Structure 1
């Protein structure tokens, strides 16, 4: 009877999630259509802005010529008829009016362009969130749609938890690759915008509108600087290049410094033993373990101080993370893992098991937490 009840619950959950998934998919498609429309409108605005700039350049040239003509007939009025002076004056006035109109149109198109770019950025974020939700629901549906007995065995069997953890790790790495591709695509669009705005500034220089050029360049510089800073941070989080260039300890030192600056939590890094270079994959895994441990402290421990200790021993690397936070009970960690209270710790344990290592946690309420991670080193894997 219990199995039948679980089966009914799972079937109902599948039906609800399938319906919700298609609704989210429809929303995602509508947002994509809106994004395509915005892109077309942006392209049209850019073309109109380019045409307006050309018209302004042409009118300014003609206006200068008519001003020169008006000056000539006004200065030598005895050589010209009154009708010639009137015609020169009306031509100059008409061109000045047209020039003012096209300048206003150019400024309006620039404002419209900036507004469309902001809207496209917001729509892209909505598409990304919708795609993430659909992906997550597909993962859940894949498990729920399986054989009920198999689901029950997975929930009851601790041996299969390592396989589940490995799938989580692989999914995380796939997600990082996807984000890296999106950064590349987004950066290309940003650079295209930079090229366009640079051309506009160049045209303004030709027209001697130095104040507008200065404002445009200031805004352009801020956009490029902000984008570059964000790209560097994301790239470092995805794959710290300092690991390949400097090694594990300098990269961890920079990570703790950045962590302290961002969270205002005091950090300390202690190195025991002589540092040796490890295989690239192992250094990345250790960095991710430290990153996850610090993230857990920040989210849950309410700590004001975190100490990271890295020990290079003959046969293993030992990573110890201590904090002075609120702590928690470790009487039954398996129950804690199975209830899903600490997914971060579960992910760390799974990573360590893949490295044939182990993790011990010492904690109690009100006394902080100490995480000890031991990673064995075989002689063939050590790089002197």
Structure 2
């Protein structure tokens, strides 16, 4: 009887561990599906989704604003996801690393292109010779932003100097 009781306890413990692992896997799947296609974009559109990111920064005490110039027009889903993700990553980096008090996300619509300039008044940093060197320095966010934009046929440039803030510029043909 003791052996059966012990096996039952082991089985119950094993089932609890299995349940915890399944819950962890489901959270990972949910996170990945969100990363592939953020719900905010489908429901609100890229502009409102970016406005929410700006609101989050303001709630954290950073004076942030979204400025849109030129004739707004609809953009492809892929372009919307790209813009949202790059803006999101840039703002995340600003919060984590820069000690900025002011941020401007400037979206400029031109005839056949969109330009997004994300600037802050934070600490800034010394740029490597090549943006691909970001990966070797452990700055994967900056590297992945550059790769995402490049894969969509666009260009990303970064200007930064210690104590002079940072500017990330994205240019895409639409």
The interval holding the TM-score normalised by the smaller chain is 0.7 to 0.9
Once residues 376 and 357 of structure 1 are traced to their aligned partners in structure 2, the CA distance between those partners, rounded to angstroms, is: 7
Q: List alignment gaps of at least 5 residues for structure 1.
A: 1-31, 40-119, 132-174, 183-234, 378-384
Please state if 1:247 is matched with 2:45: yes
Q: 1:306 to 1:36 in 2, by over 3 A?
A: same
User: Residues 303-342 of structure 1: matches in 2 within 5 Å?
Assistant: 303-334=100-131, 336-342=133-139
Does structure 1 conserve the Cα–Cα contact (< 8 Å) formed by 2:62 and 2:101?
yes
Does structure 1 conserve the Cα–Cα contact (< 8 Å) formed by 2:135 and 2:143?
no
How far apart are 1:176 and its partner, in Å?
8.3
How far apart are 1:239 and its partner, in Å?
4.1
Once residues 32 and 126 of structure 2 are traced to their aligned partners in structure 1, the CA distance between those partners, rounded to angstroms, is: 41
The residue that corresponds to 1:101 in the other structure is none
Question: TM-score with structure 1 length normalisation?
Answer: 0.38
Once residues 61 and 101 of structure 2 are traced to their aligned partners in structure 1, the CA distance between those partners, rounded to angstroms, is: 8
Q: Give the 3-state SS of the residue equivalent to 1:365 in structure 2.
A: coil
Q: List alignment gaps of at least 5 residues for structure 2.
A: 1-10
Does structure 2 conserve the Cα–Cα contact (< 8 Å) formed by 1:271 and 1:311?
yes
Once residues 240 and 351 of structure 1 are traced to their aligned partners in structure 2, the CA distance between those partners, rounded to angstroms, is: 16
Q: Which structure is higher in strand share?
A: 2
Q: Which structure is higher in helix share?
A: 1
The residue that corresponds to 1:272 in the other structure is 69
Does structure 1 conserve the Cα–Cα contact (< 8 Å) formed by 2:67 and 2:106?
yes
How far apart are 1:364 and its partner, in Å?
0.3
Does structure 2 conserve the Cα–Cα contact (< 8 Å) formed by 1:248 and 1:277?
no
Q: 1:298 to 1:36 in 2, by over 3 A?
A: same
Does structure 2 conserve the Cα–Cα contact (< 8 Å) formed by 1:247 and 1:277?
no
Aligned length: 164
Q: Give the 3-state SS of the residue equivalent to 1:303 in structure 2.
A: coil
How far apart are 1:332 and its partner, in Å?
1.3
Structure 1 runs (4+) deviating above 6 angstroms are none
The residue that corresponds to 1:256 in the other structure is 54
Once residues 169 and 31 of structure 2 are traced to their aligned partners in structure 1, the CA distance between those partners, rounded to angstroms, is: 32
Question: TM-score with structure 2 length normalisation?
Answer: 0.79
